[in-house]
Amino acid sequence: MLYGVDIHARYQGGIDLARLKAEGYTFMCTKASEGTSIPSSGGLGSAGFAVRFLGWVAQARKLGMVPGLYHWLKAGNAAAQAQFFHALVQRSGGPQGMLIQLDCEDNATYPDVLAWAKEWERLTDGHPFLLYTGKWWWGPRGWDGTRVTPYLWDSHYLTADADVTPDDPAAMAARVPAAWWRPGYGNWPAATILQFTSRGDAGSLGNNVDLNAFRGTRDELLTFTQTGDIDMDEKDKATATADTWRLLALLQNLPAAEYQIPGEPAPRVEVNLLRKRLDEIAAKVDQPISDEQLERVMRKVLGGVDGATPAAQG
């Protein structure tokens, strides 16, 4: 398991990234924009805000951490918001090599969320992004999150301690119940990243840092920072079977442990997103995927529950 933080130029202005890395954190994601502007907050003007988050991204790269930026979605002009944020991501040297987060906890509507995602897809040729929210916000709205992205950055908080001694992220994350990784809203079968406290002690800050966990390796985390590509050498291309790489694609869309949960329906997967990912991989081995092959793979992975078929999963 890997650990990371998401930070804000105003509220975590004094964070020490070098110390953060030494404490065992692998990734960081910081706010870049809100609506169609760079925030101006708490006496920190937009220019100062930009200097801080751009500096953090550059420093994270230099330290060998995985950097990321997030956008706070507001109601209206969603495509323009995506364009504004994309320009800032490019200014920071991305999106390749970066985690991208869309923060949904304000007044955006479902059409706003879908429009932002559509424009981001167009601007970046499908660079992955994670949608940050929580059951407390998304759940009452009843929206299908898998139509937006298969990657959920969920928030579900443990009770924080009162001291300011640096937390051991592994020990703290070990307190997270396994059920918390199954969000129970938005049709997401599992959280990709889980924010488990907003009052962590990390990077020289006490009771003031959002701490997050990712159930996977660094290489697996990096798949969320790349646009539609999986590195394979010539030996891989020569020896990989089509089924192996199709199953690998599925593994990159959902945690393997969540493919089947005893006593629960098989997870839903957006067929169009799955097909796109499988086609990208098939192109690497020069082996196109037919509709029949796609159905067979989906049945193999998603059909483990009695009566479940790909068609039934939507």
Whether the pLDDT of residue 283 is over 80: the answer is: no
Rounded distance between C-alpha atoms, residue 118 and residue 102, angstroms: 13
How far is CA 59 from each of CA 52, 260, 275, rounded to the nearest angstrom? 10, 40, 37
Distance of CA 79 to the CA centre of its chain: 20
| pLDDT reported for residue 269 | 40
> 206-221: per-residue pLDDT in tens?
989 999 999 999 999 9
Rounded distance between C-alpha atoms, residue 219 and residue 157, angstroms: 26
| pLDDT reported for residue 297 | 57
Whether the pLDDT of residue 229 is over 60: the answer is: no
Average pLDDT value for residue range 116-123: 96
Q: What is the SS3 assignment for 23?
A: coil
| pLDDT reported for residue 289 | 60
| pLDDT reported for residue 256 | 40
Average pLDDT value for residue range 176-193: 94
Task: Give kind and range of the element (H or E) at residue 269.
Answer: none
Whether the pLDDT of residue 249 is over 50: the answer is: no
Whether the pLDDT of residue 310 is over 50: the answer is: no
Average pLDDT value for residue range 136-152: 96
Query: Crossing angle of helices 242-253/271-284, nearest 10°?
Result: 140
Structure tokens at 201: 């002690």
Q: Which of 24-28, 39-43, 165-169, 242-246 has the lowest mean pLDDT?
A: 242-246
Whether the pLDDT of residue 200 is over 70: the answer is: yes
| pLDDT reported for residue 278 | 61
Whether the pLDDT of residue 259 is over 60: the answer is: no
For tokens 């059920």, name the residue: 179
- CB count in 10 Å sphere of residue 257: 11
Alpha helices in the chain (DSSP H): 17-22, 46-63, 78-91, 110-124, 135-138, 169-173, 218-222, 234-239, 242-253, 271-284, 291-302
DSSP 37: B
Is beta strand 27-34 parallel, antiparallel or unpaired with respect to 66-72?
parallel
| pLDDT reported for residue 111 | 98
Q: Classify residue 103 as exposed, middle or buried by CB count within 10 Å of its CB (0-12, 13-18, 19+).
A: buried
Domains and CATH numbers, the chain: 2-222 (3.20.20.80), 229-306+309-313 (no CATH)
Asked, as a colleague might, if the bond just before 95 is cis with ω within 30 of 0, I would say: yes
Average pLDDT value for residue range 256-283: 48
| pLDDT reported for residue 43 | 79
Residue 204 CB contacts under 8 Å (≥ 6 apart), including other chains: 14, 15, 16, 19
For tokens 């509220």, name the residue: 11
Q: What is the SS3 assignment for 286?
A: coil
| pLDDT reported for residue 160 | 77
